[in-house]
């Protein structure tokens, strides 16, 4: 409908006819998704290095930092019979390993809804000295010990049924105490899980002022400060911003085709669009976030304007005057 509104402009851009959704659906059904998967993988290798030195608030270490999580896209089990989910519903999962320096995906794995998150660690190759921030749904001590032996670090939260014994505690620094840290302990798993992970584990307890509760983190790194362990896990939520952007800006919820090939194609195109915008932001050294750059491009897509000028304008020049009084229905004018 939006394209129909701009028919005169589209004609001069070389579009003779607008593309309807059924045409896109047929294209996604027929074209092999691996074309887009390979392009997306190539773009990841190009874009990630551009953000490799990006600093992260509250983090002082220079290691590679990853957040691992998944987002679920509900669909009709009648239309997408391959996408089995919980409770006989249709669902597709996009498991993402996000490089927190720049919020650039490092790995994308698309599965049906029944693929358990903890299985994802089995398909990843651990990177020595890198930190992996994972939700407790991913806690599989057998897989985590494999990461530990490979020289990779991980930070997570314990499951409610985790059994352990305390071996000792570490003295807290003034900055740890000021940041809300309540305890820094060395623990060892008990019961049968000790066979899966026989090495000591670090447990950090912090008081959350907003939630008014204590939160415990577990990790295998004993060198960084307790406060930095908590800060690293807090940045795991950056991946939710990526998922939200993909779902809202690429309209993933409205799938163009429901076969496995069509869904994979759609999701990879969404990732490709994100990576292209990230590349544009890096090339032009834009002061805006990837999300903001995408918004500026979207609202100006059919205007004749310089891309460099569009995304490098000082923030003050595009900000609204917040002091302007808005008239109400009952104002006397």
**pLDDT at position 266 over 80:** yes
Token representation of residue 88: 């006989």
The secondary structure element, H or E, covering residue 166 is: strand 164-169
Q: Grade residue 326 by pLDDT with cuts at 50, 70 and 90.
A: very low
Q: Is the separation of the CB atoms in 201 and 224 below 8 Å? A: no
Going from N- to C-terminal start, the domains of the chain cover 1-30, 31-300
User: For residue 184, with 0-12 CB atoms within 10 Å meaning exposed, 13-18 middle and 19 or more buried, which class applies?
Assistant: buried
Q: What is the CATH number of domain 31-300?
A: 3.90.350
Alpha helices in 74-166 (DSSP H): 120-123, 141-149
Token representation of residue 90: 């249709």
**pLDDT at position 136 over 50:** yes
- State pLDDT tens for residues 45-60: 999 999 999 999 999 9
Give the contacts of 130 (CB within 8 A, at least 6 positions apart).
63, 64, 65, 66, 152, 153
**Model-wide pTM > 0.95:** no
Q: Is the separation of the CB atoms in 250 and 263 below 8 Å? A: no
**pLDDT at position 333 over 50:** no
pLDDT above 70 coverage of the chain, percent: 78
Q: pLDDT averaged over the chain?
A: 85
- State pLDDT tens for residues 142-181: 999 999 999 999 999 999 999 999 999 999 999 999 999 9
Residue 293 or residue 78, greater confidence? 293
Closest to 196 (Cα-Cα) out of 290, 267, 118, 128? 118
Q: Grade residue 324 by pLDDT with cuts at 50, 70 and 90.
A: very low
d(CA 183, CA 205): 5
pLDDT (mean) for 271-298: 93
Closest to 110 (Cα-Cα) out of 91, 129, 126, 127? 91
In a 13 Å sphere around the CA of 322, the CA atoms on its Cβ side amount to 2
- What confidence score (pLDDT) does residue 259 get? 78
Residue 207 or residue 249, greater confidence? 207
pLDDT (mean) for 199-203: 98
pLDDT above 90 coverage of the chain, percent: 59
Q: Grade residue 321 by pLDDT with cuts at 50, 70 and 90.
A: very low
């Amino acid at each position: 409908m939006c394209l129909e509104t701009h028919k005169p402009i589209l004609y001069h851009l070389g579009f003779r006819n607008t593309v309807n959704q059924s045409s896109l659906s047929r294209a996604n059904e027929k074209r092999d998704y691996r074309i887009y998967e390979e392009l997306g993988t190539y773009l990841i290798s190009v874009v990630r290095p551009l953000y490799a030195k990006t600093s992260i608030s509250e983090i002082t270490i220079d290691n590679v930092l990853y957040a691992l999580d998944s987002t679920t896209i509900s669909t009709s089990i009648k239309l997408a019979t391959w996408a089995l989910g919980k409770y006989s519903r249709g669902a597709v999962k996009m498991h993402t390993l996000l490089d927190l320096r720049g919020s650039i995906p490092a790995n994308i794995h698309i599965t049906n809804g029944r693929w358990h998150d903890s299985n994802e660690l089995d398909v990843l190759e651990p990177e020595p000295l890198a930190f992996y921030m994972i939700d407790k749904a991913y806690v599989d001590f057998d897989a985590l010990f494999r990461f530990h032996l490979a020289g990779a670090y991980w930070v997570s939260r314990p499951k409610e049924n985790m059994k352990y014994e305390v071996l000792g505690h570490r003295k807290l620094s003034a900055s740890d105490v000021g940041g809300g840290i309540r305890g820094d302990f060395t623990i060892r798993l008990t019961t049968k899980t000790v066979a899966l992970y026989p090495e000591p584990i670090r447990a950090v307890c912090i008081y959350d002022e907003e939630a008014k509760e204590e939160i415990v983190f577990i990790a295998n790194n004993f060198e960084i400060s307790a406060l930095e362990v908590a800060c690293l896990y807090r940045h795991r939520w950056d991946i939710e911003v990526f998922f939200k952007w993909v779902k809202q800006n690429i309209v993933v919820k409205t799938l163009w085709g429901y076969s496995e090939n069509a869904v994979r194609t759609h999701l990879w195109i969404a990732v490709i669009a994100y990576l292209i915008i990230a590349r544009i932001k890096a090339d032009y050294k834009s002061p805006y976030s990837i999300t903001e750059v995408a918004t500026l491009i979207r609202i100006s897509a059919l205007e004749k304007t310089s891309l460099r000028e569009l995304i490098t304008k000082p923030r003050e020049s595009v900000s609204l005057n917040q002091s302007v009084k808005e008239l109400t229905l009952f104002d006397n004018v």
